[in-house]
């Protein structure tokens, strides 16, 4: 187990359309270097100004939309990519120049990456046999590592080290409940079984850090839920520092001790799941975190602290108004989550809307509504399943004033 520290990390790749053309210019001499663009160029950098500390034994989740740089950041920690600038620490070691095999990390990939020509047992034992030194849980023995050959078991020579590896594989198989699968090939396994084998291969080496790159994305919904809880339970049992990458905010909210929300190559906010949900730092975090995106409405803040919209008015508390004095008589973006809109009687202070779509989810109903007159902003509302609402109905909605969020319309940052 170890802490992971990222200091001012930048990463950029050469432009994809760069073509090398032959010329009569002599090759670069040994003392010359090919020119590289500035690492901090914001227009082309994949990652910019990443500063992050993952605590010892913590379950950290990187979440964000496709292309935000979360997988690239994980590959930098693993040593599969080289940072353009910045430092990466694992424990007390600076690992920028360490090859992946010397970083004492184990990575679980999205596509499992199992060796198809060897059985589950050998997939689990492969990393242990490849190590150049005995693992922490193995006895310190002299001599070379003995390779298992495809001979009948009774004719094989099994060294003390190999017997220790067998004990470790058996221990991992018991934890993951894959003992009946040890004699199968990967092609004989289901998706969930392959995922458990991939996890077991990472666990067998007893690394300082687990790195997981969207390991559940290839599974069906039910199996993803099961594997999600199993991974969390295993991480708590082992206490190994874990960094998990996903684009699914439900996975992030249910698994992570802390979540780093990323967008455009930068970290937008790092905090616990409920703090991100209840106190987002900007509009992007507010919209991305939550199984139903937050609703946004442009309103004007009056001098008296009242939010004014062509269809409704909303009074804020005196404590909230005190922090908005700089926004008096200006436009702001009102954010409210679907569960904080409730059915009410028609009133000038309520939102009069028309139901355009109804999604019955069993335990609740999700309504898609629009204002009855321009501007016809669209909203999403959660209501109890017992309430009967039909397509085309006109209803009134009340906003819980203490639950609203206000954002700067230009920067997207929260105003108070």
Whether pLDDT at 75 is above 60? yes
Per-residue pLDDT band for 404 (boundaries 50, 70, 90) equals very high
Q: What pLDDT score does 289 carry?
A: 93
Q: What pLDDT score does 318 carry?
A: 82
Q: What pLDDT score does 157 carry?
A: 62
Q: Write out pLDDT tens, residues 308-317.
A: 998 898 988 8
Q: What pLDDT score does 375 carry?
A: 77
Contact between 46 and 265 (Cβ < 8 Å)? yes
Q: Write out pLDDT tens, residues 139-184.
A: 444 444 445 555 565 556 667 888 888 898 998 898 888 999 999 9
Q: What pLDDT score does 151 carry?
A: 58
Per-residue pLDDT band for 48 (boundaries 50, 70, 90) equals very high
Q: What pLDDT score does 33 carry?
A: 38
Q: How far is CA 257 from the centre of its chain?
A: 12
Alpha helices in 178-257 (DSSP H): 191-204, 221-238, 249-255
Kindly state the average pLDDT of the residues 77-104.
Answer: 93
Average pLDDT across the chain, whole number: 84
Whether pLDDT at 415 is above 80? yes
Q: What pLDDT score does 269 carry?
A: 96
Contact between 11 and 37 (Cβ < 8 Å)? no
Distance, CA of 199 to CA of 118 (rounded, Å): 17
Q: What pLDDT score does 34 carry?
A: 36
Q: What CA dihedral angle connects 6, 9, 15 and 21, to 10 degrees?
A: -100
Whether pLDDT at 73 is above 80? yes
Alpha helices in 305-373 (DSSP H): 318-322
Whether pLDDT at 27 is above 60? no
Kindly state the average pLDDT of the residues 280-304.
Answer: 92
Kindly report which listed range (27-31, 34-38, 333-337) carries the lowest average pLDDT score.
27-31
Kindly state the average pLDDT of the residues 224-241.
Answer: 89
Kindly state the average pLDDT of the residues 350-369.
Answer: 93
Q: What pLDDT score does 416 carry?
A: 66
Q: What pLDDT score does 359 carry?
A: 94
Kindly state the average pLDDT of the residues 74-78.
Answer: 95
Longest dimension (CA), the chain: 89
* Residues β-bridged to residue 398: 342
Distance, CA of 337 to CA of 339 (rounded, Å): 6
Kindly state the average pLDDT of the residues 72-101.
Answer: 94
For residue 155 the two structure tokens come to: 């004719």
Q: What are the residues whose beta carbons fall under 8 Å from the beta carbon of 388, sequence distance 6 or more?
A: none
First to last CA, the chain: 39
A 10 A CB-CB count for 102 gives 12
Q: What pLDDT score does 319 carry?
A: 82
Kindly state the average pLDDT of the residues 216-230.
Answer: 85
Most confident of 196-205, 352-361, 370-379: 352-361
| CA dihedral (386, 389, 390, 391) positive or negative | negative
Q: What pLDDT score does 40 carry?
A: 45
């Amino acid at each position: 187990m170890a802490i992971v520290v990222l200091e001012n990390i930048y990463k950029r790749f050469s432009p994809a359309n760069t073509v090398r053309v032959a010329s009569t210019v002599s090759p670069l001499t040994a003392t010359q270097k090919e020119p590289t663009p500035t690492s901090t160029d914001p227009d082309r950098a994949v990652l910019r100004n990443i500063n992050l500390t993952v605590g010892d034994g913590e379950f950290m989740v990187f979440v964000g939309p496709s292309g935000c740089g979360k997988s690239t950041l994980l590959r930098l920690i693993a040593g599969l990519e080289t940072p353009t600038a910045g430092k990466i620490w694992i424990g007390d070691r600076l690992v920028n120049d360490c090859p992946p095999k010397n970083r004492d990390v184990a990575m679980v990939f999205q596509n499992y990456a199992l060796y198809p020509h060897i059985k589950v047992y050998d997939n689990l034992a492969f990393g242990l046999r490849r190590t150049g030194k005995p693992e922490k849980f193995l006895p310190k023995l002299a001599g070379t590592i003995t390779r298992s050959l495809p001979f009948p078991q009774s004719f094989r020579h099994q060294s003390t080290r190999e017997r220790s590896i067998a004990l470790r594989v058996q221990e991992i198989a018991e934890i993951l409940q894959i003992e009946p699968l040890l004699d199968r090939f990967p092609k004989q396994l289901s998706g969930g079984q392959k995922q458990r084998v991939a996890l077991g291969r990472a666990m067998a080496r007893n690394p300082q850090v687990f790195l997981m790159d969207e390991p559940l994305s290839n599974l069906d919904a039910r199996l993803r839920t099961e594997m999600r809880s199993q991974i969390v339970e295993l991480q708590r049992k082992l206490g190994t520092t874990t960094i998990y990458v996903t684009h699914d905010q439900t996975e992030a909210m249910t698994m992570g001790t802390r979540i780093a929300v990323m967008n455009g190559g930068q970290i937008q906010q790092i905090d616990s799941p409920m703090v991100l949900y209840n106190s987002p730092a900007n509009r992007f975090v507010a919209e991305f975190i939550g199984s139903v995106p937050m609703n946004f409405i442009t309103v004007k803040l009056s001098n008296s602290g009242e939010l004014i919209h062509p269809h409704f008015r909303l009074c804020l508390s005196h404590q909230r108004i005190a922090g908005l004095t700089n926004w008096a008589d200006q436009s702001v973006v009102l954010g409210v989550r679907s569960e904080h809109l409730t059915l009410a009687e028609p009133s000038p202070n309520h939102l009069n809307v028309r139901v355009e779509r109804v999604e019955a989810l069993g335990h609740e109903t999700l309504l898609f509504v629009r204002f009855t007159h321009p501007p016809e902003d669209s909203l999403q509302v959660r209501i109890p399943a017992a309430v009967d609402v039909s397509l085309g109905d006109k209803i009134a909605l009340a906003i819980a004033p203490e639950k609203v969020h206000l954002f700067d319309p230009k920067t997207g940052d929260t105003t108070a």
